Amino acid sequence: MKVLLVEDEKTLALEVELFLKKSFYLIDLAHTAKKALEFLDSNAYDFVLLDLGLPDMDGLKLLLEAKKYNPDAAYIILTARGNTEDRIKGLDLGADDYLPKPFSLPELHSRMQAISRRKYGLINSEVSIGEFMVDLQKRTITHEQTAIELSKKEFDLLSYLLLHKNRPLTRMQLCEHIWGNFIEDENDSNYIDAHVKNLRKKLGAFASTEWLETIRGVGYKIKKQA
């Protein structure tokens, strides 16, 4: 998943960036509202982590602007402001959560996972698909309790499709949210197709993968099971 971190405290920003990268997120980092708006103008994000105390714009105003660019993202406010009024205003303006500083990085990660579960209607991190069980938190996939080894990007691809089950995702969407860049031409999409091919081959050795559907001229989707 792709995350925009907007934080002017550079030491804290680096700590959060490194932690989330180790947790398999793609991170863009902005220290100012101006830079954040530049990112938002050209990228789609799954999460925006937003500090309120920015040097060039109040964070609550930036939240309003950011939601115009990226209304589908989940927004978490990170701030040293402790008053209830700011917290309520942020949530009223559309923030999904509010985490006061100082905070623990594992708690931030847990809140992000909780938001994802709510957003995609999951009870917990385990999702069954066909004859397979996927644990999105542990990043494992099993067939009848036999673990199947996938590469990092193969698992990222599978989990992102699972979260958007029954929704066709274009190669451009998959490229941006999993690889962190746009496809510029059809040849650039070959590596996405190659990862899907490898995924089908590895899982197909255990059971049918007919639920992983190619949408001609568009991309891929995971079909809901009857």
Q: Identify whether residues 26 and 62 lie together within a single domain.
A: yes
Distance CA(148)–CA(126), nearest Å, equals: 15
Q: What is the pTM of this model?
A: 0.84
Give me the percent of the chain exceeding a pLDDT of 70. 94
Whether the predicted pLDDT of 166 surpasses 90: no
Distance CA(93)–CA(124), nearest Å, equals: 28
Last-in-domain residue among 94, 120, 146? 120
Number of other CB atoms surrounding residue 176 within 10 Å: 18
27 vs 31, 46, 178, 197, CA distance in Å?
13, 10, 11, 27
Q: Identify whether residues 9 and 99 lie together within a single domain.
A: yes
Query: Coil, strand or helix: which one is 16?
Result: helix
Query: Coil, strand or helix: which one is 28?
Result: strand
Q: Identify whether residues 189 and 93 lie together within a single domain.
A: no
Taking only the tens place, the pLDDT of each residue in 188-209 is 567 888 999 999 999 999 999 9
Taking only the tens place, the pLDDT of each residue in 52-76 is 889 999 889 999 999 999 999 999 9
Distance CA(35)–CA(72), nearest Å, equals: 20
Taking only the tens place, the pLDDT of each residue in 72-111 is 999 999 888 666 777 788 888 889 999 988 999 999 999 9
Q: Identify whether residues 116 and 136 lie together within a single domain.
A: no
Q: Identify whether residues 44 and 140 lie together within a single domain.
A: no
Last-in-domain residue among 67, 95, 120? 120
Q: What is the mean pLDDT of residues 9-19?
A: 95
Distance CA(120)–CA(114), nearest Å, equals: 10
What is the token pair recorded at 185? 């031409």
Q: Identify whether residues 203 and 93 lie together within a single domain.
A: no
CATH, residue 205: 1.10.10.10
Q: Identify whether residues 142 and 158 lie together within a single domain.
A: yes
Give the pLDDT score at 225. Answer: 66
- The rounded mean pLDDT for the chain is 90
Q: What is the mean pLDDT of residues 142-169?
A: 93
Q: Identify whether residues 96 and 9 lie together within a single domain.
A: yes
Whether the predicted pLDDT of 185 surpasses 70: no
10 exposure class (CB count in 10 Å sphere: 0-12, 13-18, 19+)? exposed
User: What single DSSP character describes residue 218?
Assistant: T
Q: Residue 175 — pLDDT band, cuts 50, 70, 90?
A: confident
Range(s) of the domain holding residue 190: 126-222
For residue 99, how far is the Cα from the chain centroid? 18
CATH, residue 8: 3.40.50.2300
Number of other CB atoms surrounding residue 56 within 10 Å: 12
Give the pLDDT score at 126. Answer: 92
Last-in-domain residue among 96, 120, 144? 120
